[in-house]
Amino acid sequence: MTHDNTTSPTSPTSRLPTYFISHGGGPWPWMKKEMGATYDQLAASLADMPRQIGRTPKAILMVSAHWEAPAFTVQGNPKPPMIYDYGGFPPHTYEVRYDAPGSPELAQRVQSLIAAAGLPVQIDSERGYDHGMFSPMAAIYPKADVPVVQLSLRRGLDPAEHLALGRALAPLRDEDVLIVGSGLSYHNLRNFGPQAHGVSKAFDDWLDAAVVKGAPAERAGHLQNWEAAPAARMAHPREEHLIPLMVAVGAAEGDAGERVYHEDAFMGGLVVSSYRFGAV
């Protein structure tokens, strides 16, 4: 990638924040008729991200909960196709398009940063966009005019390893690349709705204390031990929707966290949140 050296890397105007977003269920942006106002608050929070960062980034690096691989794998496709990785939705949602361009140049840069950190990495030149990317991006940049590169999680879902991945990717923040972890702060599809209010609130309260109210220097330690949190395994029976948070935090180590989206009764009772790390 080309580098702009006209501003100091530590200047607040040059360094982008990172995000961990709750990306919602399936192809929700294309289901307004079916879903009504269910996603209005989430959609509004996602749509506000461009205003928060104050400019259009050169590209977005998206770490989605819906892609796991043996090694960290970077999407190198210049024109990624759609991956309809959901089931049971209306027929029209299997024809939706989000035709953002990829960026092989960014993919190479990401690969080099990860390799330099001693982490296993490869490029997949065929991989398309999954709904952990295109559903929230349809709200963030509806014109699909910002290049997006997806990066996989690594199988095993080790929190420390994904925090280390974030640290390796931190230089991208000074290169006008927005790092977004896309998951869900609560993800237990067997316990959804009003009956899950208590467990989702218990975990959400812990999460807010760990990544916003606590000292940034202590965040990584809390997240590495997330399974000890109240209702942790009730909130995340499997943690793939939480692990993108580790990447966002690792890439903004030492920076303050802020909750940028919060609902106490999503889908009738869930407590859910999204976070930003770093100054805007």
Rounded CA-CA distance 270/265 in Å is 5
Neighbours of 224 (CB within 10 A): 15
pLDDT in tens, 88-131: 999 999 999 999 999 999 999 999 999 999 999 999 999 999 99
Q: Does domain 18-274 have CATH number 3.90.550.10?
A: no
- Alpha-carbon distance of 182 to 2, in angstroms, equals 26
Cα–Cα–Cα angle for 43, 153, 189, rounded to 5 degrees: 55
Smallest CA-to-CA distance from 245 within 52, 41, 65 is with 65
Q: Which residue has the tokens 């490029």?
A: 123
Torsion angle (degrees, nearest 10) of CA 164, 13, 42, 87: -50
Residue 12 has pLDDT above 70, yes or no: no
Cβ burial 17-54 (10 Å sphere, 16+ → b, else e): bbbbbbbbbbbbbbbeeebeebbeebbebbeebeeebe
Integer Cα distance of 211 and 200 in angstroms: 16
Residue type, 13: T
Dihedral, CA of residue 77, residue 80, residue 86 and residue 88, to nearest 10:
-150
Q: Is the predicted pLDDT of residue 11 greater than 70, yes or no?
A: no
Q: What confidence tens digit (pLDDT) does each residue in 136-176 have?
A: 999 999 999 999 999 999 999 999 999 999 999 999 999 99
216-224 helix and 159-169 helix, angle to the nearest 10 degrees:
140
Residue-range domain boundaries for the chain: 18-274
Q: Confidence band (pLDDT; 50, 70, 90) for 1?
A: very low
| pLDDT given for residue 13 in this prediction | 52
pLDDT of 195-228, one tens digit each? 899 999 999 999 999 999 989 889 999 999 999 9
